[in-house]
Chain A
Amino acid sequence: MKAPFSPYLTGIAPAIKRLIAILGERYEYVSILSTDSSGFRMSVGQRAVSVANATMMTERGNVVRVMKDGLVSEYAFNTFDPEHPEKTAEEAMKALDAQFEILKITGSEVYETGLLDDEPLTLFVEYETETLPETCDQEALIAELTEISNLTMEKGEGLIDARLNAQSTHISKMFISKNRDMRQSYVYSEGGLIPIAFKNGKNSFTNAGVSGRVGPELFRQLRDKIDDALKVVGELLDAGTIEPGEYDIIASPEVSGLIAHEAFGHGVEMDMFVKGRALGVDYIDKRVGSDLVTMHEGALCATNVTTYAFDDEGTPAGDVIEIDHGILKTGICDALSAKRLGTRPTGNGKRENFEHKVYTRMTNTVFDSGNDNLDAMIASIDHGYLLCGMRSGMEDPKHWGIQCIIERGYEIKDGKLTGKIVAPIVMTGYVPDLLGSVSMASNDREIFGCGGCGKGYKEWVKVADGGPYLKAKARLG
Chain B
Amino acid sequence: MQDYLIELVKNAGADAWEINDVQKNGWEFYFIKHKLDQNRVKNTEHTTVKLFKKSADGQYLGSAVSEIAPTASKEEAETILKKLLFQASLVKNPVYTLNEKKEVAVKETSFDVSAIARNFIEVMQELPETDTEYINSYEIFVNGITRRFLNSNRIDVTASYPSSMIEVVVNARNEGHEIELYRNYTSGSCDAAALKENLKKTLLYGRDRLKTQMTPALGNMDIVLTTDAALEVYQYFANRMSCGYKYQGLSDYELGEPVIKDAAGDKLTITARASLPNSSGNCPFDAEGAPVRDLTIIKDTKAEHFWGSRQFASYLKAEDSFIVGNFEVAGGAKTSEELLGGEYLEIVEFSDFQVDPMTGSIAGEIRLGYLHKNDETRIVSGGSVSGNMHKAASGLHFSSETVQYDNYIIPAVTRLTLTVTGVE
Contacts and interface: CB of A to CB of B under 8 A. Distances in A.
Interface of A: 8, 45, 47-54, 58, 60-61, 71-80, 91-92, 95-96, 98-103, 105-111, 138-139, 142, 160-161, 196, 198, 201-205, 241, 244-246, 274-277, 336, 355, 357, 391-392, 394, 396, 398-399, 401-403, 405, 424, 426, 428, 456-458, 475-477
A106 B121 contact: yes
B41 A51 contact: no
B248 A48 contact: yes
B154 interface: no
A357 B361 contact: no
B28 to A, nearest CB: 7
A456 B184 contact: yes
A95 to B, nearest CB: 4
B65 A396 contact: no
B90 A139 contact: yes
22 contacts: A48-B247, A48-B312, A49-B62, A50-B63, A51-B64, A51-B90, A53-B83, A72-B38, A75-B42, A78-B45, A78-B70, A106-B118, A108-B121, A110-B36, A139-B90, A142-B90, A244-B419, A275-B32, A276-B178, A336-B38, A401-B351, A426-B363
A65 to B, nearest CB: 9
Interface in B130-179: 136-137, 165, 167, 169, 171, 178-179
Interface string B82-101: 01101110111100000000
Contacts of B20: none
A79 B178 CA distance: 46
Contacts of B37: 72, 111
B71 A80 contact: yes
Contacts of B46: 78
B217 A102 contact: no
Nearest to B117: A102
B352 interface: yes
Interface stretch (B10-18, B282-290, B380-388, B398-406): B380-388
A24 B70 CA distance: 26
B42 A355 contact: yes
A355 B90 contact: no
Contacts of A95: 41, 43
Contacts, number: 245
Given A51-B90, A108-B31, A477-B419, 7 more contacts: A77-B43, A111-B32, A138-B87, A139-B90, A357-B28, A456-B184, A477-B384
A394 B383 contact: no
A203 B182 CA distance: 32
B180 interface: yes
A225 B311 CA distance: 30
* Most chain A beta-carbon neighbours within 10 Å: one of B28, B41, B69, B182: B41
**Closest 6 pairs (CB-CB, A-B):** A477-B421, A244-B421, A403-B365, A53-B66, A160-B249, A394-B352
A9 to B, nearest CB: 11
A138 B90 contact: yes
Contacts of A50: 63, 91
Contact of A106 (B32, B38, B122, B248): B122
Contact of B35 (A110, A398, A456): A110
Given A103-B36, A205-B358, A428-B383, A399 B249 contact: no
B241 to A, nearest CB: 15
A424 to B, nearest CB: 5
Contact of A198 (B32, B137, B249): B249
Contact of B358 (A101, A203, A398): A203
B424 A245 contact: yes
A203 B88 CA distance: 31
B26 interface: yes
B352 A71 contact: no
Given A47-B249, A275-B137, A456-B184, A426 B125 contact: no
B169 A355 contact: no
Contacts of B35: 108-111
Nearest to A41: B65
A79 B70 contact: yes
Interface of B: 26-32, 34-46, 62-67, 69-71, 80, 83-84, 86-88, 90-93, 114, 117-118, 121-122, 125, 136-137, 165, 167, 169, 171, 178-180, 182, 184, 217, 219, 247-250, 252, 261, 311-312, 351-352, 354, 356, 358-361, 363-365, 367, 382-386, 390, 419-421, 424
Nearest to A81: B71
B421 A394 contact: no
A477 B386 contact: yes
A16 to B, nearest CB: 12
A102 B118 contact: yes
A52 B66 contact: yes
B79 to A, nearest CB: 10
A277 B169 contact: yes
Nearest to B92: A49
B330 to A, nearest CB: 26
A434 to B, nearest CB: 13
Contacts of B67: 53-54, 58
B421 A475 contact: yes
Contacts of A405: 354, 363
B386 A275 contact: no
B93 A49 contact: yes
Contacts of B363: 405, 424, 426
Contacts of A103: 29, 36, 39, 121
A148 to B, nearest CB: 16
Contacts of B71: 8, 60, 78-80
Contacts of A52: 64-66
* Most chain A beta-carbon neighbours within 10 Å: one of B32, B91, B312, B384: B384
Given A277-B137, A428-B365, A76 B36 contact: no
A407 to B, nearest CB: 10
Contacts of A202: 359-360, 390
Contacts of B383: 428, 475, 477
Contact of B421 (A275, A277, A399, A476): A476
A468 B306 CA distance: 46
A205 B179 CA distance: 37
A50 B261 CA distance: 34
A430 B250 CA distance: 36
A76 B41 contact: yes
B131 to A, nearest CB: 15
B407 to A, nearest CB: 15
A110 B372 CA distance: 45
